[in-house]
């Protein structure tokens, strides 16, 4: 590297490559930003319809659930101490509040303080309804992941 700055790779395509990334970059830190499922369904429905992708509404929600569940599963399996999860809607508060929240979250995975320019966050994607994923609590919503990991570890530990 030609700089002392921490590199940042921002791509949703990496959601299914956590194991590979953790192996290639053992000190990698991961920040998963989860968008509200209702907002995701609305957005994809409009985008996919414009692209002539014929898909049923329930499949869009299943896509959201599968991507996020697989990503969280892999984060817990391959980078258990090196990830944090953010709710997309929390990026819409005032600059100071958001920076404080981000720095607290990043500190838990060993990243230093930053002063973030949040001007790039698109406010039209903000959803704050009562059924928002924040109110569902990630661990409750994706709670089946820990038993799956435990069962897998038991099987792998017992195998020859």
Q: Tell me the pLDDT tens digit for each residue of 19-55.
A: 999 999 999 999 998 888 777 777 777 666 666 666 6
Tell me, yes or no, if the pTM score tops 0.95: no
pLDDT value of residue 26 = 93
Give the rounded distance of the alpha carbon of 75 from its chain centre: 9
Reduced DSSP (H G I as helix, E B as strand, rest coil) percent helix, strand, coil of the chain, to 5 = 60, 5, 35
Average pLDDT, integer, range 132-153: 66
* pLDDT of 135 above 50: no
Instruction: Read off the pLDDT of residues 74-94 as tens digits, 9 standing for 90 and up.
Output: 999 999 999 999 888 888 778
- Which residues contact residue 65 at a Cβ distance below 8 angstroms, ignoring those fewer than 6 apart? 37
């Amino acid at each position: 590297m030609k700089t002392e700055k921490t590199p940042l790779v921002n791509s949703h395509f990496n959601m299914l490559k956590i194991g590979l990334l953790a192996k290639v970059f053992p000190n990698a830190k991961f920040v998963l930003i989860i968008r509200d499922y209702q907002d995701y369904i609305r957005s994809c429905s409009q985008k996919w319809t414009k692209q002539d992708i014929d898909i049923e509404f329930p499949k869009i929600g299943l896509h959201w659930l599968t991507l996020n569940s697989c990503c969280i599963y892999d984060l817990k399996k391959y980078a258990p101490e090196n990830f944090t999860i953010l709710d997309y809607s929390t990026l819409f508060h005032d600059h100071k509040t958001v920076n404080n929240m981000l720095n607290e979250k990043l500190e838990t995975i060993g990243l230093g303080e930053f002063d973030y320019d949040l001007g790039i966050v698109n406010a039209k994607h903000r959803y704050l309804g009562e059924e928002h994923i924040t109110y569902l609590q990630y661990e409750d919503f994706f709670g089946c992941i820990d038993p799956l990991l435990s069962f897998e570890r038991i099987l792998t530990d017992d195998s020859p």
